[in-house]
């Protein structure tokens, strides 16, 4: 008989192998069965019963395993593989904040980075913050955009996550509060089906300090998620969303599997599913994909 839950444990191979001690501790905490290896030294799943009253919470399990730098995700077995993926870009699929890096090359890096941090931590309204950041770029040359892209790096597992889900018939979308100059390129490199972002207003090779279209913010991310669900004819339980900032909270809260990926403190306080130590491959292990079927 299939148990209703699995506890998925994932380590970052760059930081060492998944410790046997961590597996044994976690298995005991959830009263689980024998672990099933998803990727040797990197990920296992432990079939387990539904949490009983008084049983350790996932927060307790996560805290217990933190010293081992192991992520723990408690997943319902039913409907585990998702039909829709909506991902944030900056600090999720892409390493770092692209607008901050543009601003740094334009000579206004410190001021923009502070506004970004305040926004991502929920201390400043996203739209207000974005308009203020873009205004600081007024009359700066746009040549810095290509320079930032040339130095951009994907987070480990980004291509694998998108291409593996696509290969298993999921619809994938990159929906960012960043800019389409970057989302278009990241989407092509990773294999996203769709991409959405904000638009710089540019004249004669210089930023005007304004946007060329309305702000794409938290509500827009959730709207794109709902649209994709309707187009696929599936419920929110069939969606995986991932992001790190407070502007991702609406789509993280709605999805059947909303994962806070190396997220800001306020996001970690509000979202139960978290990946804090390992790579984006953890999103595939959470869905029960073994590494043997990954599309690299």
Active-site residues, by number, are 88, 90
Instruction: Write the DSSP symbol of residue 256.
Output: S
Radius of gyration of the chain (CA): 20
**Residues 261 and 92: beta-carbon distance below 8 Å:** yes
**Residues 202 and 208: beta-carbon distance below 8 Å:** yes
Query: Judging by beta carbons within 10 Å of its beta carbon (0-12, 13-18, 19+), is residue 156 exposed, middle or buried?
Result: middle
73 pairs with which residues across the strands?
8
**Residues 273 and 291: beta-carbon distance below 8 Å:** no
The helix (run of H) or strand (run of E) holding residue 127 is helix 126-135
For strands 171-179 and 194-198, give the pairing.
parallel
**Residue 226 and residue 32: Cα distance in Å, rounded?**
35
The helix (run of H) or strand (run of E) holding residue 257 is strand 257-261
Instruction: Write the DSSP symbol of residue 8.
Output: E
CA triple 186-188-194, angle to 5 deg: 90
- CB atoms under 10 Å from CB of 66, counted, come to 13
Query: Judging by beta carbons within 10 Å of its beta carbon (0-12, 13-18, 19+), is residue 249 exposed, middle or buried?
Result: buried
């Amino acid at each position: 008989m299939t148990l209703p839950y699995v506890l998925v444990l994932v380590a970052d191979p760059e930081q060492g192998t998944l410790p046997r001690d961590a597996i044994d501790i976690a298995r005991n905490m959830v009263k689980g069965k024998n672990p099933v290896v998803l990727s040797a030294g990197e990920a296992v799943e432990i079939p387990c019963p539904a949490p009983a009253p008084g049983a350790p919470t996932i927060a307790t399990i996560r805290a217990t395993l933190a010293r081992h730098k192991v992520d723990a995700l408690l997943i319902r077995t039913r409907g585990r593989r998702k039909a829709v993926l909506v991902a944030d870009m900056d600090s999720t699929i892409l390493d770092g904040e692209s607008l901050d890096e543009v601003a740094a090359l334009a000579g206004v890096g410190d001021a923009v980075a502070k506004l970004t941090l305040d926004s991502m931590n929920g201390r400043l309204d996203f739209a207000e913050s974005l308009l203020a950041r873009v205004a600081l770029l007024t009359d700066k040359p746009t040549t810095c955009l290509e320079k930032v892209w040339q130095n951009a790096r994907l987070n480990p597992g980004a291509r694998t996550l998108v291409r593996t889900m696509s290969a298993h018939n999921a619809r994938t979308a990159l929906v960012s509060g960043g800019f389409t100059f970057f989302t278009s390129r990241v989407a092509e490199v990773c294999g996203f089906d769709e991409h959405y972002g904000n638009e710089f207003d540019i004249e004669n090779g210089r930023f005007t300090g304004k946007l060329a279209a309305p702000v794409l913010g938290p509500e827009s991310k959730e709207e794109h998620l709902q649209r994709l669900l309707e187009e696929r004819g599936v419920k929110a339980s069939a969606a995986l969303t991932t992001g790190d900032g407070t502007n991702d909270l609406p789509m993280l809260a709605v999805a059947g599997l909303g994962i806070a990926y190396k997220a800001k403190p306020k996001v970690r306080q509000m979202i139960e599913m978290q990946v804090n130590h390992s790579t984006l491959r953890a999103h595939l292990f959470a869905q029960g994909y073994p590494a043997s079927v990954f599309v690299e």
